[in-house]
Amino acid sequence: MAKNTMNPNPRACAIPINNIVDYAKAQSTQARRQPFVNLINYWSEHDGDEEAARKAISQIQGQQMIQACNLPKEFMPKFRSEAIAAQLIEIVRKLDVVITTHQENWDWAHVMKVMIDEGIIMRMSPNKFDSIICSMIPGKGRDNVRKNGDYMILDCHEPWSSWTKNSYVNPHQAQERTICMMIALEFQPVLERKIQIDY
């Protein structure tokens, strides 16, 4: 009779969680690390160790994350309430995935312009903006935000919503307006005014 060579205990073949953490941390972007966070969450929910999962996810995501209850003073007061701040952090993380995976022609300079014009943040330097955004995104390296986009867009003191949408009048401005409008739509859940789609 042939001997069963299959291991009857599937846990004995499990990959050590430390190996998963080390591999995840070696990935270059949060978007690439996220599947490993999802895997660990799945393991925790089904038959894993919740405390070990929390520690592992914290290691993958990094420790510099800002807390929703403690947004810095550069955010307008109404966006610093914990419930709205938590939504805002999730929106910023979603934007990061779109930007890092090049799903759209968005960059952080456009995001900063929208956040200023929509009254989410005060005017600040791109360096300060970089620091704040990186603190909202697990594992986001410093300078990634500051170097992503043409911050000359901030020199235009007119709000993005007042720019022309007619490409025959000003093709560049019409394109910039469309990008800002798409980003503003992502912030809609925390905005009081309705963003009108008009492209």
pTM: 0.69
Query: By percentage, how much of the chain surpasses pLDDT 90?
Result: 49
What span, in angstroms and rounded, lies between the C-alpha atoms of 13 and 173? 58
Q: Mean pLDDT for the chain?
A: 85
Identify the pLDDT of residue 13: 64
Domain that holds residue 22: 15-61
Identify the pLDDT of residue 54: 73
Overall average pLDDT of the 38-47 stretch: 80
* pLDDT tens for each residue of 44-103: 777 767 778 777 877 776 644 677 777 889 999 999 998 999 999 999 999 999 999 999
Q: Which of 61, 77, 98 is the last residue of a domain?
A: 61
Identify the pLDDT of residue 65: 62
Query: By percentage, how much of the chain surpasses pLDDT 70?
Result: 87
- Res 10 pLDDT > 70: no
Could you give the 3-state DSSP secondary structure of residue 198? coil
47 and 79, same domain (yes or no): no
Domain assignment present for residue 184? The answer is yes
Identify the pLDDT of residue 34: 78
21 and 97, same domain (yes or no): no
- Res 150 pLDDT > 90: yes
What span, in angstroms and rounded, lies between the C-alpha atoms of 173 and 20? 46
Please give the structure tokens belonging to residue 163.
């720019």
Q: How many CB atoms lie within 10 A of CB 109?
A: 21
CB 72 within 8 A of CB 132: yes
Identify the pLDDT of residue 9: 54
Number of domains in the chain: 2
Domain assignment present for residue 104? The answer is yes
86 and 35, same domain (yes or no): no
Identify the pLDDT of residue 8: 53
Q: How many CA atoms lie within 13 A of 6 on its CB side?
A: 2
